Amino acid sequence: MRGCISAFVLAAFVTVACAQTYYFDLATYSVTEGNPLTVCIRRLGSVAAAQDIEVTVTGGTATAGTDFPNFDPFSFAVGNTVACDQITITDDTNDEGSETFTLAISTNVATQNPATTVVTISDDDDDGTYAVRTLDNRLF
């Protein structure tokens, strides 16, 4: 296991110390308005204790609370190496193009790349402009 110090003691394999590190499952996520988004964090090292990992939203053009709800803590149960949180992206009627936001692991724990992830929200609205052509293919 990466990050662990192990030793053989009287023919028994014993893990002496094992640091935990946390990272996002993916460096980027993409989702369309109105759809669910599942973000996962993985942990390496000891799984002997439960751990809650907080994330913060930084940068980008999407707004927490308007374009998407806040994330709950990512809760690792004893023995788990992955924790996920699912949110539903707001399906607004604004024609705004794609928006982004960045999530960062904010709990004071050791991290490895990717310790941040960028989420792109694709707009599902059109601008209401339509082109009409005549029968002889002239733009009307």
88, 32 Cβ separation under 8 angstroms: no
- Mean pLDDT, to the nearest integer, of 39-46? 96
Instruction: Give the domain CATH number at 27.
Output: 2.60.40.2030
Q: What are the structure tokens assigned to 111, written together? A: 């991290």
* pTM > 0.85: yes or no: no
Domain encompassing residue 104: 21-122
Judge whether 15 lies within some domain.
Answer: no
103, 111 Cβ separation under 8 angstroms: no
Residue 25 is predicted with a pLDDT of 95
Judge whether 6 lies within some domain.
Answer: no
- Mean pLDDT, to the nearest integer, of 13-42? 87
Percent of the chain with pLDDT over 70: 76
Which band of pLDDT confidence, cut at 50, 70 and 90, is reported for residue 125? confident
Judge whether 109 lies within some domain.
Answer: yes
Judge whether 84 lies within some domain.
Answer: yes
Number of structural domains (the chain) is: 1
Judge whether 9 lies within some domain.
Answer: no
Which band of pLDDT confidence, cut at 50, 70 and 90, is reported for residue 1? very low
